[in-house]
Amino acid sequence: MSKRKFKNMSRTSLMHYGKLVFRSLLFFAALWMYFVSGGDLLGGGWRQQLVLGVIWVVFAVEMALRFFPSGMESMGCQKQFARNFRPTVRQTPRLIPSWRTASVVLAWGLLNGCIGHLYFKGIIDQGMLVLISLAYSVCDMICILFFCPFQTWFMKNKCCTSCRIYNWDYPMMFTPLLFLKNAYTGSLVLMALCLLVRWEYTVHRYPERFSETTNASLACVNCQEKLCFHKKQLRRFLAKNGHLVQDVAETLLVGKDAAEEAGEQI
């Protein structure tokens, strides 16, 4: 990334890149501890308690800040606050259809239902559920900065700013923790659910804040964070260099097949 692009990057973008790096490090630290402790990530050892304590403090603080207006956060989650509502001449908001949000709930429920099934069958353990939640937290930043399957395949919204489910991130992130009985994980789930209730109440009580047709703060011309810039860059790169990516993938597959054939001959 050039210095010019770095300087032109918004504070919100820089914050999300910082979160991506930090959450990735947190995930790998927990992964290391998981293997060192033999899978006992929720055990009573001081190392496990230290990792859990850091995880709890980081996400508890992040969620607590979401309850209040912020100049650093994306308008995607800040549009719920009255101070960010800039009325347009139109009076009727155009919101994303409810069936699209319902499809997200269904897909996420199926995915995590499978994870819960694996847990109760004893195939994965409690520590693995924590690791899955941390992996979700990394994917959350990837969705914001590079590619969001919910935006592309389900919601069809133009960007994060207009996202109907932006503040679903923490409840979705901590869904695997619902299966655990632990003070650390339980309190995180509770805070996430409070955020969700607050968000959904505001959506239904003040729908005009969540539509570009009625809230000028959501218009592209008024956007200060430019989070969509990174996704557009990735799309342009893939469109221009897609053949190179395909060539690399084919080379790897050929190499794998050759290695398997060599192994069979031996």
Structure tokens at 96: 């994303």
My answer on whether 105 and 168 are in the same domain is yes
My answer on whether 65 and 188 are in the same domain is yes
Comparison of pLDDT for 251 and 199, the residue scoring more: 199
Q: Using N-to-C axis directions, what is the helix angle for 126-145 and 11-36, rounded to 10°?
A: 160
Cα angle value 149/152/153 (rounded, 5°): 75
My answer on whether 82 and 162 are in the same domain is yes
My answer on whether 50 and 154 are in the same domain is yes
CA distance 241 to 239: 6
Residue 137 lies in a domain: yes
My answer on whether 162 and 58 are in the same domain is yes
3-state secondary structure of 87: strand
pLDDT greater than 50 at residue 2: no
3-state secondary structure of 34: helix
Local confidence band at 248 (pLDDT 50, 70, 90 cut-offs): low
Q: For residue range 151-168, what is the model confidence (pLDDT) as tens digits?
A: 999 999 989 999 999 999
My answer on whether 140 and 232 are in the same domain is no
My answer on whether 43 and 125 are in the same domain is yes
My answer on whether 144 and 251 are in the same domain is no
pLDDT greater than 80 at residue 253: no
Residue 200 lies in a domain: yes
Residue 133 lies in a domain: yes
My answer on whether 71 and 19 are in the same domain is yes
Domain count, the chain: 2
My answer on whether 16 and 121 are in the same domain is yes
Q: For residue range 52-70, what is the model confidence (pLDDT) as tens digits?
A: 899 999 999 999 999 999 9
My answer on whether 56 and 172 are in the same domain is yes
My answer on whether 172 and 254 are in the same domain is no
CA distance 85 to 210: 9
Residue 83 lies in a domain: yes
CA distance 169 to 140: 7
Q: For residue range 86-128, what is the model confidence (pLDDT) as tens digits?
A: 999 998 999 999 999 999 999 999 999 999 999 999 999 999 9
pLDDT greater than 90 at residue 210: yes
Q: Is 253 exposed, middle or buried (0-12, 13-18, 19+ CB in 10 A)?
A: exposed
pTM: 0.88
Residue 215: phi and psi, rounded to 5, are -125, 110
Q: Is 147 exposed, middle or buried (0-12, 13-18, 19+ CB in 10 A)?
A: middle
- Of 194, 210, 226, the residue that ends a domain is 226
Residue 47 lies in a domain: yes
Range of the domain at 238: 228-266
| Cα–Cα distances in angstroms (integers) from residue 241 to residues 8, 73, 235, 246, 249, in the given order | 25, 33, 10, 9, 13
